[in-house]
Amino acid sequence: MENIKIIRGDITTAKVDAIVNAANETLMGGGGVDGAIHSKAGYKLLEECEKIDVINGVRCPFGEARITGAGNLDAKYVIHTVGPIYFEMKEKADELLKNAYKNSLDLAREKECKSIAIPAISCGVYGFPIAKAAKIAVDVCKLYDDLEVIFYLHGERTYNAWQRAINEKTIKNDDETNKKNTSIGKKIKKFFSNILNKEQI
């Protein structure tokens, strides 16, 4: 879990290789994090988004990700991903959110990024339950231990949910390590016990 950090702050100030934008399907800017990123990055970001292929008005379907330059942001890239609208997509919302994180991180790897800033995807107007979203985010991001993942979070409730998810995962990992060590210890003890028994015979 050492690769994951959380910050209460403005993601547009992040100094990283890539910044993840919680976008909508058009990639033409919107409210919340999306609007803030486009505002700070400037018109260059919008120009790059306009170059992305459009199918029926959609540049990035739910759960997928697209990458562009970062305009005026202090990053090399912006990775645009579209998380699920929870109340419209309940049955597949969890999987779509996992894919949004995974596809974003895969793009960062492809571009040989070392650090990435990520917001709480789908936790604003898209209404994803925060505690569940935090667990999904941490579960996915812990698998990318070659990347420094920094979550930029708004509000005490969201920050605390991410902190709990990280703590729970750390405790679980510690428990699994202890069980493994205990099992190895028993095998070693049995091994030497068998040797001593043979010598006594």
Tens-place pLDDT, residues 24-48: 999 999 999 999 999 999 999 999 9
Tell me the catalytic residues: 34
Residues 6+ apart with CB under 8 A from 143: none
pLDDT, position 195 = 63
| Euclidean distance between CA atoms 123 and 130, whole angstroms | 6
The model's pTM = 0.85
pLDDT, tens digit, for every residue of 110-120? 999 999 999 99
pLDDT value at position 174? Answer: 47
115-118: strand order across its sheet: 4-8, 148-153, 115-118, 18-22, 77-81, 65-69
| pLDDT for the residue numbered 187 | 60
DSSP assignment string, 91-160: HHHHHHHHHHHHHHHHHHHHTT-SEEEE--TT-STT---HHHHHHHHHHHHTT-TTSEEEEEE-SHHHHH
Residue-range domain boundaries for the chain: 4-161
CATH code for residues 4-161: 3.40.220.10
The per-residue pLDDT for 177 is: 43
Predicted local distance difference test score (pLDDT) of residue 199: 59
pLDDT < 50 stretches in the chain:
174-178
Residue 12's pLDDT is what? 98
